[in-house]
Structure 1
């Protein structure tokens, strides 16, 4: 009988602690930052290198599945790469470059040429170059 009473008392104590802990966790979780770090306005996890792609309409890592281009003037730049993503029908190219706060869309002007008012992306000899005001900023190396 003593063992039965001890089991009932123990069960009561532990079940009360469990419900208190759940309530505490719920209350404190609203004041904690989200797991994994800060997210941008699209929900992309910045600390993991994700950014919003206008072409794909989802969070991507720009260095995965894109064209990588190297900066041409390394003397003044700490970031040495730019990334280009093309849509599936090759009507637009999306640039991920340090010179802009968000990605930049370029429209297809001709085969192997994408442009907007500021940038021009050209493919010559199977390598891409990004030009801004007649200056080559980035080049693809093969």
Structure 2
């Protein structure tokens, strides 16, 4: 069977780094787009990493948090989710609390806890 050069190009695998998303981030190189940073970032290089709690799986997943420079917003990256979720800082006298829908991120001293509908799902 003969293929035209156009058909062959469509069948050939893409090269490493040729998988840019709409923001120019290369997923094959570990990059994803951060709304807060307005740039491509590697989630595993970010300083706030939360570990999954009470997992029934044979592995543990991580969630990543990126805070805005002014501390008013927290960008949440969940495993197996495309994109991120922006949580807004709420009023709290004791702790730092960010919320969006059913998600609540709380910082007490240096520990972050993420709850989904009042159930702790990730913790640093």
Q: TM-score range by the shorter chain?
A: 0.7 to 0.9
Q: Given the alignment of the two structures, is residue 66 of structure 1 paired with residue 47 of structure 2, yes or no?
A: yes
Q: Given the alignment of the two structures, is residue 123 of structure 1 paired with residue 89 of structure 2, yes or no?
A: no
**What CA distance in whole angstroms lies between the structure 2 residues aligned with 1:45 and 1:83?**
18
Q: How do residues 33-48 of structure 1 correspond to structure 2 at under 5 angstroms?
A: 33=14, 36-48=17-29
* Structure exhibiting the larger radius of gyration computed from Cα positions: 1
**What CA distance in whole angstroms lies between the structure 2 residues aligned with 1:119 and 1:74?**
18
Q: In structure 2, list runs of 5 or more residues that go unmatched.
A: none
Which residue matches 1:5? none
Which residue matches 2:75? 94
Q: What SS is found at the alignment partner of 1:63?
A: helix
Give the aligned CA root-mean-square deviation in angstroms: 2.2
Which residue matches 1:133? 117
The alignment's TM-score, normalised by the length of structure 1, stands at: 0.69
**What CA distance in whole angstroms lies between the structure 2 residues aligned with 1:99 and 1:118?**
18
Q: What SS is found at the alignment partner of 2:90?
A: strand
**What CA distance in whole angstroms lies between the structure 1 residues aligned with 2:58 and 2:114?**
16
The alignment's TM-score, normalised by the length of structure 2, stands at: 0.79
Q: In structure 1, list runs of 5 or more residues that go unmatched.
A: 1-26
Q: Which has the higher helix share?
A: 1
Q: Retained in 2: the 8 A contact 1:37–1:46?
A: no
